[in-house]
Structure 1
């Protein structure tokens, strides 16, 4: 007879903030930790406690109770408090690839400093799991994952499924990434509370364990049974040792062990792991009925998602590349400041935070954290750009009239496009004496400023196509390192120029100069590819956009001849669900702007860009009827609600701006919605007409291929899914991609294979286990939503359109400088690299060394590729590295003095570079 072992793991799933604000949750955490310290002191049988796979619980506790630091460190070193490997328990899909990686890296480093970490990929409550998780954690030396959602190993009423390659017969399985990385995976089949509040009374214990053991055995592959002694914010079970002794006395054929994950996993490996099934890729509950996926957290409180993308992009794709450039130029690396900015951002990434499914107080505090992280990032970026610009040799420009400025591309890929910046023609510093009079004098001196007398040139004096508009005197100030603040009036001009082929980790230098200072004052004639606009249409050499009377538009791709009609229609439906799940009222017909008249105006037209503004006031229902409040108060499950929207309406003003730039194969879309109504969802629809059975969606370190039609068990009328930077459809010959900034929810509708992107969703309750009103989740007020519609050949990967989609949220960085010598050339790339299907991910310094960490990933899940790169600076060595910045094999140069690495499909590759500074 096989002896069963019941592994009881003491834990508390610690949502940092959720149905209570952060500080109220933290006080409960303090009580838990105090009880734990006492339990370890008083009960030698109390073996250990799992701190939910995240380091931040210790950080939060010790910030309030710093006198406990050495006690905590000792308990971690002894293995009694089990922490890490994550910094926080994130939502995997709603944060960037790099944010997932930094969460792991920072969590491991901090946990190691505190005494060690658990080598477990812990995902207890993520709302779905990313397909690249096995590769990510394998790179961190972790070969086991534990998760609670995303895969369905059993059917209704505990009926074990078989014959489905997407699911597992057991709660133990193998999980494989698209690159082939595989880990042992354990599902909380009976959730992470299946061993909570174990009774000490013998009769109660007998009944308790009869039920619990049978439930676990129904899913387990062998005699090693997992029981989680805890739940959300669960206080410590102080009599756990006694409860386990009672269980052993009542059931002598079962070994009840106060266990740990390392012990349980080791025992599991000794069983028969070869009999386990394999699940592959993303685990998004795609094999369920679709009602409890929690996917609509992707559209809850969109304003939070937008700020998150801004914060992530600033750190990953602006600050860190600029800081590396400045460091290579001689500046010190602001390591601690960057870590603070990253940690502040990551504190907004727990699944109940970034998902927008908490009470209003939580999300107000999140906005402050976003602001803090952004303020630090913006300051570091400005300082770094200034340091590099000061080292650029601009002596080729006229010293009297030139106003040089450096255009940085930090997106990682070569980039062309329209750049807009302000340039100071002159600054007048002033003290505290009569600043108004000095302003008036300055204004009078420049009142006849003529932009026709100025021109933009490149470093060789060649004119560049640009538009120059005076802005007038504006206030500014310097904060020197060695003296008091210096206020000034600056006469500024707005400069819009077209830049071409700016290197991905580099810059180009331009200058605003007076025409009369040039030896030969060339005039700039609009080059081919300029934008034309007439009536309600605009076009360049690649695209033509025609706007209909209802504000929808037709896109003609002149390259491949494809025409897409009926783009940009708005759709509105009621939503009687909650922050977790969308629920359209029964029998409701969606409202759309199709056929509704709109005011269409051309508001900007230059050879570089044209902008059409489309305005309308759309009368929409005020909100749900009174029944919804009663259904919420009485906790009627959202899917069974009968509420409808009222007949009364209010005007919702929607302004859409369509922008077409010079030489662009994409259309910029800026949507401004003044949301005045409640309980609804607004989406923008893109009818493609493309024959495709799958959508390609940007996910975490991969472009995922997802079927448009859901699995057979799916019964939810909505099939909304997560996206990160973009979604794309293609028939193999042509394709359309919609890139976004913080719009994480999409659906592909069967009619015309229409891509629908959620812009605003408003609901009135948190949902889940209680009654929590969230009036601010109605998202009333003005929202500005940005997308880019990219037309291309083939699919988004083969065409390379993914590069433009990834670049879309990344701003250009421009810094004005003077005419001076310098050790850097006027145009420069710090790290030149190439590789088919490769996406840039990061360029930073190591967390524990001065090595450059350069990371890319293969967006193709089918084709291998080669990374080839050449630093422009002297190096002391190059080596292969990992997500956690471990040093691997040294890399040598080839005959062309370049470094190369072979990357398999879906491979994440980090390279360490030791600069010879």
Structure 2
């Protein structure tokens, strides 16, 4: 009997979703990878039509190292089209926390490896487990050579909506499929539920074509499902099922010619995102932030040093990059793996900070040695592609033979922050502070000289405010609440707030808010709640900086606990937290800096800094290679480095050093400093596993952030520029005149510059070793031009892409779309 024509065509795609860590450590996951890929090789030999997909290049690297014979076999299957690679990143990174440049390096490292070793040019993006996707994914993926994209988290599930065109911030579009099934990427694994699951997929399908992934990793591939598929087709002739690939699915979808809707913005909605991972295990976020800055700056200045004659540290940087890409994995930087994983992560961060600091210091030292410097000087290096300004502290040490009484920086206001003298009064150690500026990606030399008596910092007793003429910051010595007063733009209050936290590493859950409100807050006292007690307030003032220091403790009990507003408090007991807030303002800088040092002994709390701004505004946050406008709502969002909240009359910009989690409600901005949880999951998002490390107890934390009030919006004040001056600050280095050879100017010099609206994210030696790669993006959301200025005239300028494969002749003057990413290859 002739089979009736099928109404629906199903593309059944067995694949391997690989977690390099999560429930298990890296060693165990390596075993699982080897075990499953051996099984795949066997299945390929048994079933002639079998096809299978692998996500990460790292999986093949592990097999190549561990089992060369298996790797050879997998390579053969790839050449026959039976083993395919989807996405092909080094590892599936989180798309928000690593930062745009690190994210594209996952693609660069992985996609080039897959092409070189397996001969495959990956065309399908496959981000099935990242916790939401940033708004630049369409541009990033199209630029890297992908034609289609599949993802599994970050969107509402609606009938008929699985397929759409996703438009990025710059206007780039990519044909996209969202895995709408409640089973997401492993919907096809359940042979006994094949009909129900296909009916669910049919409901979400936009056409007669249905993509049915069968994701393994949690178990080996269940080969009996293949027989179940054959039996299913006989019973349900309306479905035609074939073992296929996402590429086949997308080609059929394009041939169908159905006009699909266009969606814009980031994918950060629906029930599958985890909106509290941005503040889980904050020590990981802060450590990763340091590592990210270090590797990008070490790479930039190593490239400059290479152009000046120093050997390029290729091996050292490659090894470091592989470890950074591991940290960027979606279950590492988010803090969502079992505790055992983070013992290794802690070691990796420590090793990277040491090794990358050495690479950076070596490159800076080499560059400084080329400058014509005639006297002992502090050389200030600027890692940004625009002129930067910031407060710099540098500690000098003196030998007994030097006989120095006083020292200062020539030509700029300078303050003595700390000093140490011998018994005869000669300086042995002096820490100087001053406001420095440096040209784009270059240096400025600040010479040291003997001084009669430089002004040191002085403590002012009894004062509870600091004031630089424009901004005044006051502290209530009883409550610890801060008031920020801008003489032109008004005032607002800041305070620390504690909420109950009985969620997991993924999700915030507060069971006391409806009963009792906040657990504790500065300025609030209740008989059954912990209370903040201000134990000391100091003002330290210099010629350049002013510092307000507030020491507080959080106590669980106090007496009298009733009528305390009449009697006062005499006893504080059961200390739960030590807090020191240091607020700094400077002469000549527009922002207010805050350092919060704390040690927490209070489990199951969420600690947030609340800015009570008191006006209604528009909310914009930095994201990978750009900025995104968001709707204020009661959930946390990540920022890459900064966020802004502005109305027509004024605005507020916040920038942080590695503190991504924040929430915006009408008139208020909350910055989450830490969350204390002890469960990986309640069984809804993963295994029910204790994770005591995530309780954040007895760690010494230092949180650094800054903010400013301004007129106009974020574009007018160039918020990205102010943020980067703080987030990626100036770097000082002491240079002795004997080491200066005089090839470079002895006052200041710029190696590379871009206009303010273009931001450099990468300067490196190309993968082939023949070019310099410079990557930048348009930061203001406006169309325009960018002219790249270099200290050497390039012999050739090529327009390239993320994978460095494209080479089209161009000039150093580039027209830019809003938020466009540009990669240039330069022959110098």
Q: 1:271 to 1:673 in 2, by over 3 A?
A: same
Which residue in the other structure is 1:467 paired with? 416
Listed one character per residue, the Cα deviations across residues 318-353 of structure 1 (whole Å, up to 9, x for unaligned) are 212211221121112222221211110111222222
Q: CA deviation at 1:294?
A: 0.6
Listed one character per residue, the Cα deviations across residues 833-865 of structure 1 (whole Å, up to 9, x for unaligned) are 34353333222222223322222222333x212
Listed one character per residue, the Cα deviations across residues 435-472 of structure 1 (whole Å, up to 9, x for unaligned) are xxxxxxx5xx67xx5542x3333xxxx56635375446
Identify the match of residue 280 of structure 1 among 249, 253, 264: 264
Identify the match of residue 383 of structure 2 among 388, 396, 410: 410
Whether 1:679 aligns to 2:658 is no
Q: 1:532 to 1:879 in 2, by over 3 A?
A: farther
Q: State the alpha-carbon separation in 2 of the partners of residues 96 and 172 from structure 1.
A: 27
- TM-score normalised over the length of structure 2: 0.90
Q: State the alpha-carbon separation in 2 of the partners of residues 224 and 491 from structure 1.
A: 78
Q: CA deviation at 1:31?
A: 0.8
Whether 1:333 aligns to 2:258 is no
Which residue in the other structure is 1:44 paired with? 48
Greater Cα shift, 864-873 or 186-195: 186-195
Q: State the alpha-carbon separation in 2 of the partners of residues 620 and 125 from structure 1.
A: 40
Q: State the alpha-carbon separation in 1 of the partners of residues 590 and 263 from structure 2.
A: 39
Which residue in the other structure is 1:91 paired with? 94
Trace 1:357-756 onto structure 2 (pairs within 5 A): 357-394=336-373, 397=374, 402-426=375-399, 450-452=404-406, 454-457=407-410, 462=411, 465-467=414-416, 469-471=418-420, 493-514=429-450, 535-549=463-477, 550-558=479-487, 561-567=488-494, 569-586=495-512, 587=514, 588-590=516-518, 591-594=520-523, 598-602=534-538, 604-620=540-556, 650-692=575-617, 694-708=618-632, 710=633, 718-750=634-666, 753-756=667-670
Which residue in the other structure is 2:114 paired with? 111
Greater Cα shift, 238-247 or 544-553: 238-247
Q: State the alpha-carbon separation in 2 of the partners of residues 195 and 589 from structure 1.
A: 41
Whether 1:81 aligns to 2:54 is no
Q: State the alpha-carbon separation in 1 of the partners of residues 626 and 29 from structure 2.
A: 35
Contact map agreement 1:505 1:831 (CA 8 A) in 2: yes
Contact map agreement 2:384 2:441 (CA 8 A) in 1: yes
Whether 1:355 aligns to 2:347 is no
Q: CA deviation at 1:198?
A: 5.2
Q: State the alpha-carbon separation in 1 of the partners of residues 376 and 239 from structure 2.
A: 81
Q: State the alpha-carbon separation in 2 of the partners of residues 616 and 514 from structure 1.
A: 40
Q: CA deviation at 1:152?
A: 1.1
Listed one character per residue, the Cα deviations across residues 677-697 of structure 1 (whole Å, up to 9, x for unaligned) are 1111010011112331x3111
- 2:327 aligns to what SS in structure 1? coil
Q: State the alpha-carbon separation in 2 of the partners of residues 739 and 64 from structure 1.
A: 44
Which residue in the other structure is 1:905 paired with? 818
Q: State the alpha-carbon separation in 1 of the partners of residues 215 and 242 from structure 2.
A: 15
Contact map agreement 1:192 1:231 (CA 8 A) in 2: no
Contact map agreement 2:38 2:70 (CA 8 A) in 1: no
Q: 1:217 to 1:546 in 2, by over 3 A?
A: same
Q: State the alpha-carbon separation in 2 of the partners of residues 621 and 278 from structure 1.
A: 57
Q: State the alpha-carbon separation in 1 of the partners of residues 435 and 79 from structure 2.
A: 55
Give the number of equivalent residue pairs: 787
Q: State the alpha-carbon separation in 2 of the partners of residues 653 and 879 from structure 1.
A: 55
Identify the match of residue 8 of structure 1 among 12, 29, 36: 12
Which residue in the other structure is 1:315 paired with? 295
Contact map agreement 2:385 2:753 (CA 8 A) in 1: no
Q: CA deviation at 1:796?
A: 2.1
Which residue in the other structure is 1:881 paired with? 800
Contact map agreement 1:151 1:284 (CA 8 A) in 2: yes
Q: State the alpha-carbon separation in 2 of the partners of residues 66 and 492 from structure 1.
A: 59
Structure 1 gaps, min length 5: 155-159, 161-168, 427-441, 474-489, 516-520, 623-647, 711-717, 893-898
Whether 1:788 aligns to 2:706 is yes
Whether 1:296 aligns to 2:276 is yes
Q: 1:307 to 1:909 in 2, by over 3 A?
A: same
- 2:743 aligns to what SS in structure 1? coil
Identify the match of residue 163 of structure 2 among 172, 179, 191: 172
Q: State the alpha-carbon separation in 1 of the partners of residues 416 and 670 from structure 2.
A: 36
Q: State the alpha-carbon separation in 2 of the partners of residues 142 and 700 from structure 1.
A: 18
Q: State the alpha-carbon separation in 2 of the partners of residues 649 and 469 from structure 1.
A: 35
Q: CA deviation at 1:82?
A: 2.1
- 1:307 aligns to what SS in structure 2? helix
Q: CA deviation at 1:570?
A: 0.5
Contact map agreement 1:125 1:149 (CA 8 A) in 2: yes
Q: State the alpha-carbon separation in 1 of the partners of residues 493 and 325 from structure 2.
A: 40
Whether 1:803 aligns to 2:721 is yes
Flag as ranges the 4+ runs of structure 1 deviating above 6 A. 523-526, 530-534
Q: State the alpha-carbon separation in 1 of the partners of residues 227 and 492 from structure 2.
A: 71
Trace 1:108-147 onto structure 2 (pairs within 5 A): 108-115=111-118, 116-147=120-151
Structure 2 gaps, min length 5: 525-531, 559-572
Q: State the alpha-carbon separation in 2 of the partners of residues 264 and 491 from structure 1.
A: 74
Q: CA deviation at 1:60?
A: 2.7
Listed one character per residue, the Cα deviations across residues 186-238 of structure 1 (whole Å, up to 9, x for unaligned) are 01111434543454xxxx5xxx4432321121111222111112244331223
Contact map agreement 2:166 2:175 (CA 8 A) in 1: yes
Q: CA deviation at 1:787?
A: 0.8
Which residue in the other structure is 1:235 paired with? 220
Which residue in the other structure is 1:843 paired with? 763
Say what the alpha-carbon RMSD is for the aligned residues.
Answer: 2.7
Identify the match of residue 201 of structure 2 among 216, 240, 245: 216
Q: 1:363 to 1:503 in 2, by over 3 A?
A: same
- 2:795 aligns to what SS in structure 1? strand
- 1:594 aligns to what SS in structure 2? coil
Q: 1:790 to 1:92 in 2, by over 3 A?
A: same
Contact map agreement 2:129 2:152 (CA 8 A) in 1: yes
